[in-house]
Amino acid sequence: MTEAQPILSISNLQTRFATRYGLVTAVDGVSLDVMPGECVGVVGESGSGKSVTFASVMGLIKPPGWIDGGSIKFEGQELVGMSERSYRSLRGKYIAMTMQDALTALNPALTVGFQIMEVLLAHDSQISGSARNRIREARARVIEMMMLVRIPSPETRLNDYPHQFSGGMRQRMMIAIALACRPKLLIADEPTTALDVTIQAQVLELITDIRQTLGMSVILITHDLGVVAEYCDRVAVMYAGQVIESGPTKSVIGQPSHPYTQGLLRSIPNLANLDKRIRPIEGQVPELIDLTPGCRFIGRCDVREVACTQRVEMRNIGQGRTVRCIQPKGNVQ
């Protein structure tokens, strides 16, 4: 039996930005595979390089930024160096991405129905015929997509503008736009930002249901380990532009090996022991300009050693897990 191949394979990705203060290495050597039908969580603090990594995948890095090395393959096809014309045929149809803030991502001057329709008209070859027939068929598909993401009364609401929807409904519209052409891979960048807990759960359950219905792969970018623990098969933890730990979600959450992952878990309130004191990670994320070759977490780590001042590579520690630490630890203390 032939072993399944990753639908997305990122290898040693380097993404940099030129600034007035110096060269910023926002993504430094990131490697990550996503298998067909899998949900992978990418977690880390703000500024860890999560969104830039997948903006690179989508071909959205423009000057003064550029991809400075590495490989991004989608179904075996190399994306680094792909022309904008080729990328336009790929985005929306095969790979889709929902942005963090739906209110700013959606065009305020266009109805939500039109914003879904333009994706269909651009990419769906099954919508054909005269202009009138194409519009009629696309409108029917828009209603179908709005029903899929559970927008009530889609026949009338497709004529509404983004500001006429609540935060949760706007997020659903973003998902509808992303899923209009039934992509093979959905990248959801902080899909629950600024939503209350109830709406967060509804949006995440919606993504899970659609993932199972369409059989697509999902990358869930978030800072919430609780969300990752409940919805993701595997997790990659990022810090200062690097993946510092990855593996099956249950294993990484249950027995974190990197001091940073342990620190993230210690920062979460323990509902089973409300008297237990929360221990935040001391210090700040380092500036990504003129970085030293050593461990990026060295300034905030309680167990640092002299050897941590040298470059630390990812290590395979078994059971499908890797960690960027010279002495990976055991359970959270």
| Rounded average pLDDT per 10-residue block, the chain, 333 residues | 82 96 94 96 92 96 96 96 92 90 90 93 78 88 89 94 91 89 92 78 86 91 89 96 96 93 86 77 86 88 90 90 84 41
**pLDDT at 266 (0 to 100):** 87
The tokens for 246 are 């990855």
**pLDDT at 292 (0 to 100):** 79
Distance from C-alpha of 122 to C-alpha of 116, rounded to nearest angstrom:
10
**pLDDT at 42 (0 to 100):** 97
Question: How many C-beta neighbours within 10 Å does residue 140 have?
Answer: 11
**pLDDT at 267 (0 to 100):** 85
**pLDDT at 2 (0 to 100):** 54
Q: Strand order in 39-43's β-sheet?
A: 95-98, 185-189, 217-222, 39-43, 234-239, 242-248, 321-323, 315-318
Strands 65-74 vs 77-78: parallel, antiparallel or unpaired:
antiparallel
In the chain the beta strands, taken as DSSP E runs, fall at: 8-19, 22-34, 39-43, 65-74, 77-78, 95-98, 185-189, 217-222, 234-239, 242-248, 315-318, 321-323
CA angle 280/219/81 to nearest 5° reads 115
**pLDDT at 35 (0 to 100):** 95
The tokens for 71 are 């490989």
**pLDDT at 101 (0 to 100):** 82
SS3 27: strand
**pLDDT at 116 (0 to 100):** 93
Q: Is the pTM of this model over 0.75?
A: yes
